[in-house]
Amino acid sequence: MDIKDGRTVKGVNFVDLRDAGDPVELADAYSKAGADELVFLDISATEQKRKTLADLVYKVGEKINIPFTVGGGISSVEDVDVLLKNGADKVSINSSAVKNPQLINDLVAKFGSQCIVVAIDAKRIDGKWKVHLVGGKVPTELDLFVWAKEVEERGAGEILFTSMDHDGTKNGFANEALAHLSNTLNIPIIASGGAGAIHHFTDTFKEGKADAALAASVFHFKEIEIKELKQELKSEGIPIRL
């Protein structure tokens, strides 16, 4: 769930955002519908130089009984401490990790790798995947695969890779890039960006070798039901908890 100004939003290629509902109510609904985990990303937090709202985390934690990750505007050990104490199971860092890679090491040393997720937003520029910061607004020269390897070496427990080219398009995940990440890394890779049909999930587990798949609009706007999706994945031989 992308959060902006306390509301769940969804766009296409990181722009043209539209309202998708109250995040606490959605979290409760998804938990009851059978989602395995939830991810809350405050997409305006870094841009507006403010912290992810700890009270939202607390309200979500009171409502649901599945793991959830929170990201957006996290730049210190103190930020993470507050979020975990308010109920988050994991935290996700993105722009702050690129600007200060030592932050990954510091967080892992303090809290353990199991709760430190590094999110990477990237898009293809001249045939190469380049990392972008601040909700996809600031391009860098940093190569996706080089950065992902460094993230792993610094101790992060998972990588959440969002293809900006695929985000919101509903044309499928970036399976070629995902497979390359999976083949070169030893930590779990979460696929994000592009889900539009049930077979896209099957494809990203089989072709993209993703360990998990994240989607938003297809669930927010009830285009795919979680129960139906999980049953289809199981019928395709993909290990899934029903």
pLDDT digits (tens, 9 = 90+) for 73-90: 899 999 999 999 999 999
Average pLDDT of the residues of the chain: 91
Which run of H or of E encompasses 167?
none
Residue 241 lies in a domain: no
The answer to which of 6-10, 139-143, 198-202, 234-238 has the lowest mean pLDDT is 6-10
Domain total in the chain? 1
What is the pLDDT averaged over residues 149-158? 98
Phi-psi region of 72 (alpha: psi -120 to 50; beta: other; left: phi over 0): left
Mean pLDDT across the stretch 49-77? 86
Determine whether 19 is an active site residue. no
Q: Among the residues of the chain, which ranges form H helices? A: 23-33, 54-63, 77-85, 95-99, 102-111, 144-153, 175-184, 198-206, 217-220, 226-235
Please indicate, yes or no, if residue 25 is contained in any of the structural domains.
Answer: yes
Catalytic residue from among 2, 79, 167, 203 = 2
- Please report whether residue 214 resides in a domain: yes
Considering Cα of 137, then 141, then 146, then 147, what sign does the dihedral take?
A: negative
Cross-strand bridge partners of residue 122: 131, 163
Cβ atoms within 10 Å of 174's Cβ, excluding its own = 28
Say which CATH number the domain at 202 has: 3.20.20.70
Cα 19 from Cα 65, distance rounded (Å)? 25
- 169-218 pLDDT, tens digit per residue, is 899 999 999 999 999 999 999 999 999 999 999 999 999 999 999 998 89
Active-site residue, selected from the candidate residues 42, 79, 121, 167: 121
Q: Of the given ranges (20-24, 95-99, 116-120), which has the lowest mean pLDDT?
A: 20-24
Read off the pTM: 0.91
Question: Torsion over CA of 60, 211, 21 and 90, rounded to 10 degrees?
Answer: 30
Instruction: Using alpha carbons, select from 241, 179, 166 the residue that is nearest to residue 210.
Output: 179
Residues 6+ apart with CB under 8 A from 206: 236, 238
Report yes or no on 115 lying in a domain: yes
> Considering the domain boundaries, does residue 231 fall inside one?
yes
Question: What distance in Å separates the CA atoms of residue 115 and residue 70, rounded to the nearest whole number?
Answer: 10
Determine which of 11-20, 43-52, 186-195, 217-226 has the lowest per-residue pLDDT on average: 43-52
Q: How far apart are CA 219 and CA 225, in angstroms?
A: 7
In a domain, 242, yes or no: no
Question: Using CA of residue 110, residue 84, residue 218, residue 133, what is the dihedral sign?
Answer: negative
Domain boundaries, position 15: 2-235
Least confident of 48-52, 112-116, 208-212: 48-52
- Tell me, what's the pLDDT at 49? 47
CA–CA gap between residue 55 and residue 87 (Å, rounded)? 10
Provide the residue type at 14 as one letter.
F
Q: State residue 51's pLDDT score.
A: 59
Contact assessment for residue 9 and residue 18, using Cβ atoms and an 8 Å cutoff: yes
Active site residue 2: yes
Q: Report yes or no on 24 lying in a domain.
A: yes
